[in-house]
Amino acid sequence: MALRDAWHRQQLLDWLRQMQLSGPAQGEGGLNAHQPPQGAGQAEVVDRTLRLLKAFARAQQDSQQRLQDMLAAIQASPNGVVLLDAMGRIEWCNQTAAQHLGLDGTRDLRQYVANLIRDPNFSAYAAGADFGTDVLVAGRASTPSRPVRLSLQLHPYGQGRRLLLSRDVTLIEQAEAMRRDFVANVSHEMRTPLTVLAGFVETLQTLDLSPQEVRRYLDLMATQSERMQTLVSDLLTLSRLEGSPLPGMGDSVSVQMLMAQCELDARALSSYMGRVEHQMQFELQGPAELLGAASELQSAFSNLVSNAVRYTPAPGRVSASWRLLPDGGGEFSVQDSGPGIAPEHLPRLTERFYRVDRSRSRDSGGTGLGLAIVKHVVQRHGAVLKIESDVGRGSRFAIVLPASRVKPLAVSAHTAPADGDTLLTTA
């Protein structure tokens, strides 16, 4: 109907333009079967009619342009939009909705949306009358390893029509899950040592103990208080990393100094964990200074080495090395001979409090925040954290720093500490 009206209007416009150019033609009796009657005001009437029709045509063209602009804006929206008729059939959808729901903008026109979105939660939602809230469904591209969550909501409009909006809430859902896990884990990690401390305090207050028993209880209390102190310190470190400006290029720290401190910490931890110590090797290939925050880099390097010691049963082997890369960057890596990590756990290792084996992690004394700290430090320095692991064969963690953060130094002579297990070289 609209196309036919437009065609008739265009025919009338053409006829009026022709009349303006050639003038009216007379037929027998003073009138032509296809011309309006002539008179003194004929030219003025024709001119006014022509102007009105031109104005109408411009208004219609502007309206069509605004409609096209509106459709283009909806098409570019990050949210999906589906127009449904009163029967629940698809009248139009944008590209985002097609990607979210697996629709085809041409093939699925006039198809019932309930037949294309088969999620039971959406079916129950669409059959109801309360559309004040949304419903969550799995996205068409969702897989067990990479879940996709969509928020769908219907909005009635017009005469029984409905507007279906879709929104990808995967990241929001993940953030909310991480927040819940964070609160639960912090509460658990704090509650356990507090419960132990409270029990020991009550024991010391109520029982008549020998000096040896008192000393043993005090040592256990000191261990639990140190555990809480470490947890609070790691939480404060994470908070500082998230809220502080990115490290500049004005400060620098020697890689040799960082590795020397890592070795001291690792040997002390190994000695504290048991009678048998780990086999350790620290190797420096190409001395350099790193431009950035020394405390952050030390924390990242030490966390990788400490994790290797914690999760590698003694007398297992732990090797840390630094090397310059051909592109001018540098790589700090830690290799262990521990039990390794299954592939499905690797993407989540840097999440706060994520544990592959909760019982073993708790026995090792870790807080579950070490790799989260490493991830933040790496990101703040424009570096990359690489993780490789084979179950039963050990793991390898590497921090690859860009050339802008690495300043090579002159080669010095070979040095080796007194301990034969350690090889600290500059080559």
| Angle separating helix axes 211-243 and 370-380, nearest 10 degrees | 30
Query: In the structure, what pLDDT confidence band is assigned to residue 28 with cuts at 50, 70 and 90?
Result: very low
Supply φ then ψ for residue 329, to 5 degrees: -80, -170
- Per DSSP (E only), the strands in 101-219 are 135-138, 149-157, 161-168
- pLDDT: which is higher, 331 or 61: 331
User: Same domain, yes or no, for 219 and 265?
Assistant: no
User: Of the residues 134, 168, 202, which one is the last residue of a structural domain?
Assistant: 168
For residues 111 and 173, give the distance between their C-alpha atoms in angstroms, rounded to a whole number.
31
Percent of the chain as helix, strand, coil, to the nearest 5:
50, 20, 30
Same domain, residue pair 274 and 402: yes
Q: Is the pLDDT of residue 36 over 60?
A: no
Q: Which of 224, 243, 262 is the last residue of a domain?
A: 243
CATH code of 335's domain: 3.30.565.10
Judge if 195 and 106 occupy the same domain: no
**Range of the structural domain that residue 130 is part of:** 80-168
Q: Are residues 293 and 401 in the same domain?
A: yes
257 with 399, same domain? yes
Please, which pLDDT band fits residue 223 given cuts at 50, 70 and 90? confident
Omega of the bond prior to 78 within 30 degrees of 0, cis?
no
Residues 163 and 123 in one domain: yes
Residue 353 lies in a domain: yes
Higher pLDDT residue, 181 or 358? 181
Q: Has residue 43 been placed in a domain?
A: no
Sequence-separated (6 or more) residues with CB below 8 Å from residue 321: 281, 282, 283, 284, 285, 332, 333, 335
**389 shares a domain with 324:** yes
Q: CATH number of the domain at 155, please.
A: 3.30.450.20
Averaged pLDDT, 237-254: 87
Residue 70 lies in a domain: no
Q: Does residue 426 form part of some domain?
A: no
The C-alpha atoms of residue 385 and residue 380 are separated, in whole angstroms, by 12
Count how many Cα atoms sit within 13 Å of the Cα of residue 66 in the half-sphere of its side chain. 6
Distance CA 67, CA 92 (A): 14
Cα separation of 176 and 182, whole Å?
A: 10
Give, in degrees to the nearest 5, the angle at Cα 202 between 198 and 206: 175
Mention every residue, 6+ apart, whose C-beta is less than 8 A from residue 203.
209, 217
Q: For residue 309, what is the enclosing H or E element? A: helix 294-310
H-helix or E-strand containing 320? Answer: strand 317-324
**Do 285 and 246 meet the contact criterion of CB atoms below 8 Å apart?**
no
Question: Is residue 120 situated within a structural domain?
Answer: yes
The pTM score is 0.59
Same domain, 271 and 398: yes
> Number of structural domains, the chain?
3
| Measured CA angle at 350 (ends 344, 352), to 5 deg | 110
Give the end of a domain, one of 125, 146, 168: 168
Q: What is the pLDDT of residues 257-311, one digit of tens each?
A: 999 999 999 998 888 887 678 999 999 998 899 999 999 999 999 999 999 999 9
In this structure, the answer to whether residues 102 and 118 fall within a common structural domain is yes
Residue 322 φ then ψ, to 5°: -125, 135
For tokens 């209390």, name the residue: 221
- The first and second tokens of residue 151, run together, are 């928020």
Average pLDDT value over all residues in the chain: 82
What pLDDT, on the 0 to 100 scale, is given for residue 32? 45
Judge if 375 and 234 occupy the same domain.
no
- Say if residue 31's pLDDT is above 50: no
For residue 23, pLDDT over 60 is answered with no
| Residue 206, domain member (yes or no) | yes
Q: What pLDDT score was predicted for residue 358?
A: 57
Tell me if 162 sits within 8 A of 84, measured CB to CB. Answer: yes
Please tell me the predicted confidence (pLDDT) of residue 422.
43
pLDDT of residue 130: 84
The reply to whether 268 and 352 lie within a common domain is yes
Per the model's pLDDT, the better-predicted residue between 292 and 51 turns out to be 292
pLDDT of 48 above 70? yes
- pLDDT at site 359: 52
Question: How sure is the predictor about 162, in pLDDT bands with cuts at 50, 70 and 90?
Answer: very high
Same domain as 398, residue 268:
yes
Residue 150 lies in a domain: yes
Q: Is the pLDDT of residue 415 over 60?
A: no
Q: Is residue 59 part of a domain?
A: no
